[in-house]
Structure 1
Amino acid sequence: MTDSSLTFDVAVIGAGMAGLTCAQLLQQAGYSTIVLEKSRGLGGRVATRREKEIRADHGARYLEPKGRHLRRLVHILSAHKIVEPWTDKTYIGNDANNSLTPAASSSWCPYYVAPAGMNAVGKFLATGLEIWLSRRVLAMTPTDQETWQLLLESPAESGKMPGPQEVNARAVVVAIPAPQALTILEPVHTQLPADFMANLRSVEFEPCLSVIAGYSPNRQRDLAQREIAWKTVVFPHDEQLAWIGWDSSKRSNAQMPVFVANSNPTFAQDYLEAEDLQPAGQMLLNRAGEYLNSWLNSPDWLQVHRWRYAFVSRPIPEPCLAATVPVPVVCCGDWCGGNQIEGALESGKAAAEEINRQLRRLPMPGEGVWDVIARE
């Protein structure tokens, strides 16, 4: 260990839903915990982007609290006015005649959104945690002190002090997509069980392109006059477009219409390595215009985000992936079980319990973890 490093009980790599859940449980149990996140924001794919003072959710579209863990979280978030019901209806785009039909009703389980942006959920989960943003983990190596040493990339912000270049931890939780986890763990695969690495390599993801499109305020009046019924539409049979949402309808004070469209995996794969994603984004808006309002193909501005690991297509069946080695390593995420946000929450909880089992077996907060955050 050098003067530029610190030692924690647990280092969590990734500030998505699984990583933040795991870190909260461990910290509330009494472990010293650090969260290392390569990007500048919290929440992982529960993401919000700002453009000209406009918020748009280009990651997770909404919360659908069907599972036990997400129902409890949504209850707490609703009580603190972080999320609210958005709609209980999904429409289906029919390719044959470019028409819409309502999907089967799910009124018993409305979709919830955060008017301040879906990343508000990640910010809530991060309450009280020590989190270092813009600190990509470049490598991890075992030490003679029975810790893992994590080599960190310096912060990207200009003028900011570089901070410690290494972090030492008595256990590591890798809470990022499995292919990204492999870039860190492959160099030390001889230190890890063969079946652990085989399971990690078996996970597969599908990509997605997410298009954020903003329109003239005049279109806001047009939408009001039309009194359109849909807020979210899926396109199960289209060759390009998978989904579109009227994102600005999540916010009561929206000054202009904003829509977010998602591609299907095949279309995303075709453009995944393109240097310029604008043409692909325009193609998706053209398709949306054919199904819905024709002016959707003429935005005032658009941005395209590339989600290389959007949806897990081949998960592992276990809620987390643990290596029983002298210095514990546990992987977690929605790819453990494959149940998106609900799966991520469950996986983060399972990872925390596994770390606790391998370390000091302290009393864990359980489902009361969200109540503790809400009181801070």
Structure 2
Amino acid sequence: MFDVAIVGAGVAGLTVGQQLRQAGYGVVVVEKSRGVGGRVATRRLHHTRADHGLRYLEEKGELLQGLVKILSDRQILKLWTDKISLSPDSQITTNCYVAPEGMSAVAKFLAKGLEIRLNHRVESISVNNQDCWQLNFAAVNDELPASLLAKALVVAIPAPQALMLLESLVSQEVLGRLGAIEFEPCITVMAGYSSSCRCDRSEKAILFSQNDNLAWIGLDSSKRLNSEAPVFVIQSSAKFAQLYLDAQDLQPAARELLASAAKHFIPWLDNPEFFQVHRWRYAFPSRPLSEMFLDAQTSLPLICCGDWCGGNLVESALQSGLSTAQRINSQLQNLPLPGANFLNCL
């Protein structure tokens, strides 16, 4: 039996977990994927890696400033660029920090010391006869436990997924609030090129605000310490991703994005040596919750949180995690929490 079970190992879920673990609670984080971080994601491919989710971190917000400073001091982050190009001819000035080992290093830092069970997809949740939450997992193999028990539950996943998981557990009012949260999708292409390809343009990244297909192109290999050949990450607009939201084959979408990148940025981008494609169904909250968390107000503690609470940035996820931990703590033993200082203990 755990004090708190957290579903989802994104930034918000990891922040809740660290707050409560450092206060002395018994905490477990369960995650359906093979790694932590959610959209703070890095893909290994062809002897290199590419950030196909979160592009970079900016010093926007007090919590994020603290995180960037600590990660920079520990040489996990470095300054990547101080300008982002806008299509076609203008630029914005902003300090962008990246991890040479991949942005997933940020999530791995936040996950330090936590008990995390990867490849654990929660199939259903119920209240058992010991008056606690029971999380039941989809069968993967005989070695994994079928369920676990916890006194309190945090659901730190996108609101549409939380809605499906909690449909039989919470009130119609809570379901309505979850159902009102809206997300925009995104398709990401990671493409590698011959070392003979040269980038004559100085931009490391370009942001497209008025393009039907493209939202972002970044020279991802410039984030790495010893990159021998260019690797680009291309992210689609929400409008484009909607066209392929339920497509089983994303190769045509990738080819179309590569063609658009070649047209609007560098001509040889439509001829990669290799590429991979990933679909983010819940990439960016377009209609977030105004509060920092959603208390389901059930008989046992149950809180929903994430970057869709209070905004749609990493700062929102951090703040949502802190606020959720405070609420869970008040419903349990009311132990002293580390607050934003939890980063210094990692």
Q: TM-score, normalization: structure 1? A: 0.90
**AA partner of residue 185 (structure 1):** L
Alignment match, 2:275: 302
In structure 1, stretches of 5+ residues that fail to align are 1-6, 95-100
Alignment match, 1:174: 155
1:148–1:169 contact (8 Å) kept in structure 2: yes
Instruction: Find the residue that maps to 1:168 and give its secondary structure.
Output: strand
**1:293 & 1:316 partners in 2: Cα distance?**
39
Residue 137 of structure 1 pairs with residue 107 of structure 2: no
Which of these residues, 270, 273, 284, is aligned with residue 311 of structure 1?
284
In structure 2, stretches of 5+ residues that fail to align are none
**1:179 & 1:198 partners in 2: Cα distance?**
11
Residue 337 of structure 1 pairs with residue 318 of structure 2: no
**AA partner of residue 82 (structure 2):** D
Alignment of 1:74-89 (within 5 A): 74-89=68-83
Instruction: Find the residue that maps to 1:140 and give its secondary structure.
Output: strand
Alignment of 1:269-288 (within 5 A): 269-288=242-261
**2:312 & 2:46 partners in 1: Cα distance?**
34
**AA partner of residue 128 (structure 2):** T
**1:325 & 1:187 partners in 2: Cα distance?**
12
Alignment match, 2:178: 200
Superposition deviation, residue 154 in structure 1: 3.6
**AA partner of residue 102 (structure 1):** S
Alignment of 1:88-103 (within 5 A): 88-94=82-88, 101-103=89-91
CA deviation vs aligned residue, 1:156-209 (integer Å, no higher than 9, x gap): 7xxxx5221111110000000000111110022xxx344322211111111000
**How many equivalent residue pairs?**
346
Instruction: Find the residue that maps to 2:189 and give its secondary structure.
Output: strand
Q: Sequence identity of aligned pairs in percent?
A: 51
Instruction: Find the residue that maps to 2:168 and give its secondary structure.
Output: helix
Superposition deviation, residue 65 in structure 1: 1.6
Which of these residues, 198, 208, 215, is aligned with residue 193 of structure 2?
215
Residue 289 of structure 1 pairs with residue 289 of structure 2: no
Superposition deviation, residue 325 in structure 1: 2.5
CA deviation vs aligned residue, 1:95-134 (integer Å, no higher than 9, x gap): xxxxxx232323xxx1000000000011111100000000
Instruction: Find the residue that maps to 1:105 and give its secondary structure.
Output: strand
Superposition deviation, residue 276 in structure 1: 1.2
Alignment match, 2:58: 64
**1:286 & 1:93 partners in 2: Cα distance?**
16
Superposition deviation, residue 8 in structure 1: 0.3
Instruction: Find the residue that maps to 2:83 and give its secondary structure.
Output: coil
Superposition deviation, residue 155 in structure 1: 4.2
**1:210 & 1:132 partners in 2: Cα distance?**
27
User: What is the RMSD computed on CA atoms of the aligned residues?
Assistant: 1.1
Which of these residues, 156, 179, 185, is aligned with residue 166 of structure 2?
185
**2:275 & 2:164 partners in 1: Cα distance?**
32
**2:108 & 2:92 partners in 1: Cα distance?**
33
2:86–2:92 contact (8 Å) kept in structure 1: no
CA deviation vs aligned residue, 1:200-219 (integer Å, no higher than 9, x gap): 11111110000000001111
Alignment of 1:21-32 (within 5 A): 21-32=15-26
Instruction: Find the residue that maps to 1:316 and give its secondary structure.
Output: coil
Instruction: Find the residue that maps to 1:104 and give its secondary structure.
Output: strand
**1:75 & 1:268 partners in 2: Cα distance?**
34
Q: TM-score, normalization: structure 2? A: 0.98
Instruction: Find the residue that maps to 1:218 and give its secondary structure.
Output: coil
Alignment match, 1:349: 322
1:89–1:102 contact (8 Å) kept in structure 2: no
**AA partner of residue 202 (structure 1):** A
Alignment match, 1:249: 222
Name which of structure 1's ranges 172-181 and 197-206 shifts more when overlaid on structure 2.
Answer: 197-206
1:315–1:336 contact (8 Å) kept in structure 2: yes
CA deviation vs aligned residue, 1:238-280 (integer Å, no higher than 9, x gap): 1111111000000120121100011111110101111111111
Superposition deviation, residue 338 in structure 1: 1.7
Instruction: Find the residue that maps to 1:199 and give its secondary structure.
Output: helix
Which of these residues, 164, 177, 186, is aligned with residue 145 of structure 2?
164
1:154–1:162 contact (8 Å) kept in structure 2: no
